[in-house]
Structure 1
Amino acid sequence: MLKKPTQVVMAALLLPTLVAGCLGGSDSSSSTSSGRTNPNQVVDGLNVTATPQGQCGPGAKPETGMQGRVSQTDHDAGLAAAGFSCNTQLVGSFAPERVIGTVGGFKVERYRDKAGRDCAFADSTLLFPTNILDMELGVNVFDMSDPTRPVRTARLVTPAMLSPHESLVVSQEGGVLAAVLGNPAFGPGIVDIYDVSEDCRNPVLKSSTPLGLFGHESGISPDGKTFFSGSPSTSTLVALDISNPSLPRPLWAGQYSSHGLSISPDGNRAYVASIADPAGMLILDISEIQARKPNPQVREVSRLTWDTVTIPQNAIPFTRNGKQYVMEVDEYSGGNGGPIPVGIHGPNVGAARIIDISDETKPKVISNLRLDVHNIANREEIASDPGAQNPTGGYAGHYCNIPTRINPTIVACSMILSGLRIFDIRDPANPVEVAYFNAPVKPRVLTLPAPASNWAMSSPAFVPEHKEIWYTDGYQGFYVVKVTNNAWK
């Protein structure tokens, strides 16, 4: 519980002045053209091919045709109700029967506390407050001591946790869980910070303050001392010092159309999924924020865009054999030649990619992570499949994640109708899809907003020592999936 509620009131009164000061502080890479870098353009055309598939081993329930497809025939034959899997096995789940089925959202985070307990944190809806019909609210906390039986130990229902949208983040080093109140457009920017270091099963609220300005997405420094609130629709990006989680304070605010962002291990670079100017990836020098310099200046290092861009969702840096890369994923589909507005089963699917940043001033796409259902030549054939016509779903990507930022061997992606997809990236220039898990589609009393899909949209979490992946889908539940047959090298 907050011991000083006056902190919230004072923060609300001071926020406009603080933000105005930050935005007016001549951040050298604000929206004026003088601070912007010229974007690198990757000219691949729209006919980007699908990632090759490996072989499914024993125990598979493989897809019947096109990579990533769940057709009407699959539904009619009962195959969708049984689910599809390749080199994966369901270990455990939390999937209570519900009217709509809203028990999953956009993020799953793993944390191991000081006592060695494993916990999972997962938001419970794709759109607040639709989950009220299912008596589900907030962020679910799971004790993962037995992954075959995840046990919900708490629900976090403070303002930001009720509707974090895509902003739920955790810092393993800092022992903090944070989110900003958001929605598909933008929320009022209340930031909730919890201490999870002592007993992750029972997070302790440290502060709830309106310092995020506007809420939608977020990022956190690896040390857990800096939280970033990103709102692409308002073109605002805010940095908060949360080194004292009970008393967060504004550090900087800038005018960027930031969706998700990740911070480098040293805290000096931000890798931003930007939806404008142009849409693509933006690398920012945030070293003065990391150094806590007064009136910090943020400078652009580079911008990158590509022909198949839709809505960039998140960007995560990693190294492979000492070389630097970024894994980036776009959400949804669009028309030819622009990310907005989102197309209803648009011909162009952004999907995911690996970007070489060996020269951070000249990043370049070296490979793509995508399925046959994402290819422009196949879009007409699959247009009548159940769920394909949903404008914020269908056959498209949403989130990807990696188990480690140093020499990861896989990327796992939630690809909505196509479920959880796993790619081998040991050779970043030549990835291979090695596994997938598309959970059984179960009937619901109500099928809102669209039928016939579990809507896999969450950023997954990993347990590398057991080759497990944790993720949620929007209408069924929380899953623990083991990668089998040595597909995760």
Structure 2
Amino acid sequence: MRIARTRPGSARRGVATAALAVSVVLGVTTSPVPAVASAETFFFDDIGSTAVPRANCGPGSLPETGMQGDVPAEDRNNGRSTQAYRCNMSLVGGLQDRGGGLLSVTYDHCSYTSTFFPGNLLNPTTPGVQVLDVSNPAQPVLSTTLNEPAMLGGTWESLKVNKARKLLAATAVPIAAGTGYFSVYDISDCAHPRLLNRGAGSDVTMPLPFISHEGGFSPDGNTYWVSGPAPGFLTAIDISNPAEPRIIWQGLHGLGGHGFGITPDGNRMYLSNLGGITVLDISAVQRGDSYPTVPQIATYLWTDGFFNQHSIPVTYGDKPYIFTVDETGGGGIKVFDVADPAHAEIVQKIKLEIQLPANTAANLRSSQGGSVFSYDPHYCVVDRPADPTALACSWESSGIRVFDIRDLNRISEIAYYNPPAQTGKNVQLTNSPHALSSLIGVSLFNFVPLARGVFEGKTDPRVAFGPRAGMVAFGDLSADWCFSPPEFHGNQIWTSCSDNGFMALQLDDTVYQPPANQAPTYGQ
């Protein structure tokens, strides 16, 4: 069910007040994002209650023992989760070191391991972003380390690659939010990145005025967009000359923000907010207008999941869609028809069985002792933006999941690899957000969907009390958190998980044949 409402004036005044406060603090011109006259806010209150069909696991698989996506409490306690779960996908090679950070990315024959502050600094020899040479996927090797302030300060979800211009960039995000430091590298020789901006953004005495949690490139690589979590502060950094990055637009779009997806022409942004997405017209920035404005086209909110993570614009034939991912709350992945971005419609949802409303108590039962996240997707990648054939997603506690998306009406899971739990290695994995977060044992983000399921009579709360019910502190890493985009490299997927670090995974030929024009993208 969808309910449409116009934006309330009081909310607009609140954003304007916040914008003024931020502009005073940062010393830059800042304005709230204007809504076009017809812009509306749409609420979707349907809760998806159907899971995608399970993968049919072929020879050599070591499948899950419970429901789809689950790592049962018994498996966590008896050590079964340390053996991995695999279905039509296997490990080729990897490099764990001290953990895979939060969001790591790949390019050509290289991978870049993100940093998670302050744990990364406990590794005195390689505290910055690690550059891995994956020329031999069975034996990745450390090539070098990037140690500029942006790389040492924790890159959170800002470490991104632009393939068109062969650039790597990130901002410093020490603890959920950061400001000031931003570095851009030439990765023409991917194993040996070359710093391009030695002044503004990289020099500790020359910070840039922005608030960052996540960042990413426009498709042409001329703009790097930075979003802050609270308030919803959005910044466009012109890097047409990467040696001299300069801020060309800033604004507030709401009370909170996250990642985003940008259409291939660079003119429209699907910006994540706390409970949905906001559609922005960024064409003036893309054109390079002297005084750009960024109008709001529409906002879409829903109760099925929250902390929307990012979106991937795609086309089937000539018709545009987006895949948009909810980081928590059991919302899974939603597919929107965005032929009219001012009146978009949800046409499909992708959920695993462990995420369904009827299973929220079982979800808490098994995830207890695993820290704040339970079973939700984080970043997804399509194998090509036009007529994609496969979607690969990183999943908290459920590993890497791959779906056949050739037909939006018949989406099914075709493979998964949930890496071996690194139980008890909390102290060694200083660059793992999972290890550092495990001072907390309880799955905090599962309580909202659990409460909703109980209130609606869809789940029995007594099921939540299992053999790990008392683990409210000091989690044991009994199932890894996978956050990074799983990127297609032919028939392999390269990605990083928090505890296991970098992994090269092989998809069985029986379930996936890479298209000739494979061009993986996560929307930015």
TM range (shorter): 0.7 to 0.9
SS in 1 for 2:285: helix
2:147 to 157, 165, 168: 157
Which residue pairs with 2:70 in the alignment?
69
Deviates most, 472-481 or 394-403: 394-403
Is the 2:156–2:176 contact (alpha carbons within 8 Å) kept by the matching residues of 1? no
Indicate the residue corresponding to 1:273 in structure 2: 272
How far apart in 1 are the matches of 2:387 and 2:29?
37
Task: Determine helix, strand or coil for the equivalent of 1:167.
Answer: coil
Provide the residue aligned with 1:41 in structure 2: 43
Alpha-carbon distance in 2 for matches of 1:173, 1:311: 29
Matched, 1:474 2:498: yes
Corresponding residue pairs, total:
435
1:474 shift after superposition? 0.8
For 1:418 and 1:73, the matched residues in 2 are separated by: 16
Corresponding residue for residue 163 of structure 2:
172
**One-letter amino acid matched to 2:110:** C
Partner of residue 341, structure 1: none
Instruction: Return the offset for 1:35.
Output: 6.3
Question: Cα deviation per residue 1:379-433 (whole Å; 9 max; x = unaligned)?
Answer: 2124232556622x11222222223212221111111111111111111233111
Distance in 2 between residues matched to 1:80 and 1:176, nearest whole Å = 38
Q: Distance in 2 between matches of 1:483 and 1:62?
A: 15
Structure 1, 473-482 or 398-407: larger mean CA deviation: 398-407
For the structure 1 residues 248 and 16, does the alpha-carbon distance in structure 2 shift closer, same or farther, using more than 3 Å as the test?
A: farther
AA in 2 matched with 1:312: N
Give TM-score, length-normalised by structure 2: 0.78
SS at match of 1:73: helix
Tell me if 1:258 matches 2:238: no
Change (3 A) 1:39 1:485: same
Deviations 1:63-113 (A, max 9, x none): 0121011112223444211110011011111124xxxxx42123232223x
Rounded Cα–Cα distance in structure 1 between residues aligned with 2:123 and 2:38: 46
**Whole-Å Cα distance in 2 between the matches of residues 177 and 300 of structure 1?**
29
Would the aligned equivalents of 1:165 and 1:182 in 2 still touch at CA under 8 Å? yes
The equivalent residue for 2:381 is 401
Counterpart-to-counterpart distance in 2, 1:462 and 1:238: 29
In structure 1, the residue matched to 2:208 is 211
| Partner SS state of residue 354, structure 2 | helix
**How many Å separate the matches in 2 of 1:306 and 1:52?**
24
The verdict on how the C-alpha distance between 1:236 and 1:486 changes in structure 2, with shifts beyond 3 A counting, is same
Measure how far apart 1:272 and its partner are. 1.0
How far is 1:170 from its partner? Answer: 0.9
Task: Report what 1:288 is aligned to.
Answer: 284
Q: CA deviation at 1:435?
A: 0.7
Q: What residue is the counterpart of 1:22 in the other structure?
A: 29
Asked if 2 retains the 8 angstrom alpha-carbon contact of 1:220 and 1:262, the reply is no
What's the C-alpha RMSD, in Å, of the aligned pairs?
2.2
What letter matches 1:106 in structure 2? Answer: L
Q: 2:479 aligns with which of 453, 459, 462?
A: 453
Contact 1:35/1:299 (CA < 8 Å) preserved in 2? no
The answer (yes or no) to whether the contact 1:103–1:131 under 8 Å persists in 2 is no
Could you tell me which runs of 5 or more consecutive residues in structure 2 were left unpaired when the two chains were aligned. 1-21, 202-206, 428-434, 439-474, 514-524
> How far does residue 141 in structure 1 lie from its aligned partner after superposition?
1.0
What amino acid sits opposite 2:361 in the alignment? E
Residue 132 of structure 2 corresponds to residue 142 of structure 1: yes
For 1:144 and 1:271, how far apart are their aligned partners in 2? 32
**Pairwise CA distance, 1:247:** 0.3
State whether residues 310 and 325 of structure 2, in contact with CA within 8 Å, keep that contact through their aligned partners in structure 1: yes
The question of 1:327 aligning with 2:323 is answered yes
One-letter identity of the residue aligned with 2:238 = D
| Structure 2 counterpart of 1:310 | 306
Counterpart residue number, 1:422:
402
Matches of 1:230 and 1:405, distance apart in 2? 23
Residue 359 of structure 1 aligns with an amino acid whose one-letter code is D
Partner of 2:176: 185
Correspondence 1:90 to 2:70: no
Cα–Cα, structure 1 residues 381 and 371, in superposed 2: closer, same or farther, change >3 Å? same
How many Å apart are 1:165 and its aligned residue? Answer: 0.6
Alpha-carbon distance, 1:444 to partner: 3.5
Please report how far the alpha carbon of residue 446 of structure 1 lies from its aligned counterpart in structure 2 after TM superposition.
3.2
Partner of 1:131: 120
1:299 partnered with 2:301: no
**Partner amino acid, structure 2, of 1:49:** T
Deviations 1:8-49 (A, max 9, x none): xxxxxxx9689655314x7534xxxx76821223332x3522
- The answer (yes or no) to whether the contact 1:311–1:350 under 8 Å persists in 2 is no
Amino acid at match of 1:461: E
SS in 1 for 2:151: helix
Aligned-partner Cα distance in 1 for 2:369–2:323: 26
State the TM-score, normalized to the length of structure 1: 0.84
State the SS of the aligned residue for 2:366. Answer: coil
* 1:372 alignment partner in structure 2: 353
How far residue 442 of structure 1 moved from its aligned partner, in angstroms, is 2.9
Contact 1:388 1:394 (8 Å CA) reproduced: no
Aligned with 1:361: secondary structure?
A: helix
Residues of 1 paired with 2:231 and 2:484: CA distance?
A: 23
- Structure 1 residue 307, shift from structure 2 partner: 2.6
Report what 2:511 is aligned to. 487
Q: Which residue of 1 aligns with 2:9?
A: none
Q: 2:96·2:499 contact (CA, 8 Å) conserved in 1?
A: no
Q: Deviations over 1:156-194 (max 9, x none)?
A: 121211211111111101111111111443112311111
